[in-house]
């Protein structure tokens, strides 16, 4: 059993020049892999080894005695989700039912773009920016460190990793430039639309 590190859903150079193969090699093969290894070691021979990772995240959230399990489980899940949120030739505006939902709940794409960028750039320190569905409505949020909408009863639709390891090799301290590029060149709106349709 255990949680397996998923392969990247594309090649290491698929997001170049916007995110380089070097960044993806470190981010996936070192950072993401370490969260998965740590998680599996921490739950080995415990009842949590047989639970889904989403169940582990919910069961350990805000439990001070299980913070290591939560952090590694949530980071393993968040990264698997993040890879799917990008693709080569992505970015720009969504279409169809997702675009209509953004118009209805968030005031249109331009407002979404501005608010998502603000969430991503104002998350102090490490964390994540999210588009989630909560009580049937779209919402833009940000979480610190490993925290994840999975623990909060929200349905994640899109995320941007704003830990420095996600962008430092390519953008150094310029997080706003990384977020602009994520939105304009990388977002996999088909994945977001599928998440909304399943919710
Ligand atoms: Fe990361």
Q: Sketch the domain layout of the chain as residue ranges.
A: 21-84, 96-198
Output the CA 79–ligand 1 centroid distance in Å.
Answer: 6
Output the CA 126–ligand 1 centroid distance in Å.
Answer: 9
CA separation for the pair 156, 149 (Å, rounded): 6
Q: What is the pLDDT of residue 136?
A: 97
146: helix, coil or strand? coil
Q: What is the pLDDT of residue 101?
A: 98
Output the CA 104–ligand 1 centroid distance in Å.
Answer: 31
pLDDT one digit per residue (tens) for the chain, 199 residues: 578 999 999 999 999 999 999 999 999 999 999 999 999 999 999 999 999 999 999 999 999 999 999 999 999 999 999 999 999 999 999 999 999 999 999 999 999 999 999 999 999 999 999 999 999 999 999 999 999 999 999 999 999 999 999 999 999 999 999 999 999 999 999 999 999 999 9
Output the CA 196–ligand 1 centroid distance in Å.
Answer: 23
Class of 96-198 per CATH?
alpha beta
Question: Is 21-84's fold the same as 96-198's?
Answer: no
- Report the CATH fold assignment for 21-84: Helix Hairpins (1.10.287)
Output the CA 94–ligand 1 centroid distance in Å.
Answer: 24
Say if residues 74 and 159 touch (Cβ distance below 8 Å).
no
Q: What is the pLDDT of residue 1?
A: 54
Output the CA 163–ligand 1 centroid distance in Å.
Answer: 6
Q: Secondary structure of 35-69 in the HEC alphabet?
A: HHHHHHHHHCCCHHHHCCHHHHHHHHCCCHHHHHH
Q: Is the dihedral of CA 131, 14, 8, 170 positive or negative?
A: negative
Output the CA 63–ligand 1 centroid distance in Å.
Answer: 23
Q: What is the pLDDT of residue 94?
A: 98
Q: What is the pLDDT of residue 2?
A: 73
Cα of 79 vs its chain's centroid, Å: 6
Output the CA 13–ligand 1 centroid distance in Å.
Answer: 17
Q: What is the pTM of this model?
A: 0.97
Output the CA 5–ligand 1 centroid distance in Å.
Answer: 14
Peptide bond into 14 cis (omega under 30): no
């Amino acid at each position: 059993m255990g949680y397996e590190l998923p392969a990247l859903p594309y090649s290491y150079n698929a997001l170049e020049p916007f995110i380089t193969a070097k960044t993806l090699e470190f981010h996936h093969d070192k950072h993401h892999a370490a969260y998965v290894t740590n998680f599996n070691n921490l739950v080995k021979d415990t009842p949590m080894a047989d639970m889904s990772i989403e169940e582990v995240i919910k069961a350990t959230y805000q439990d001070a005695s299980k913070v290591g399990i939560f952090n590694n489980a949530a980071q393993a899940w968040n990264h698997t989700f993040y890879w799917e949120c990008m693709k080569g030739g992505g970015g720009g505006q969504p279409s169809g039912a997702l675009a209509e939902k953004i118009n209805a709940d968030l005031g249109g794409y331009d407002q979404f773009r501005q608010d998502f960028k603000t969430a991503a750039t104002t998350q102090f320190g490490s964390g994540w920016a999210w588009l989630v569905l909560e009580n049937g409505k779209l919402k833009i949020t940000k979480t610190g460190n490993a925290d994840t909408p999975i623990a909060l009863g929200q349905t994640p639709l899109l995320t941007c990793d704003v830990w420095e390891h996600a962008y430092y090799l390519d953008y150094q301290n310029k997080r706003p430039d990384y977020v602009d590029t994520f939105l304009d060149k990388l977002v996999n709106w088909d994945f977001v639309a599928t998440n909304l349709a399943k919710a």
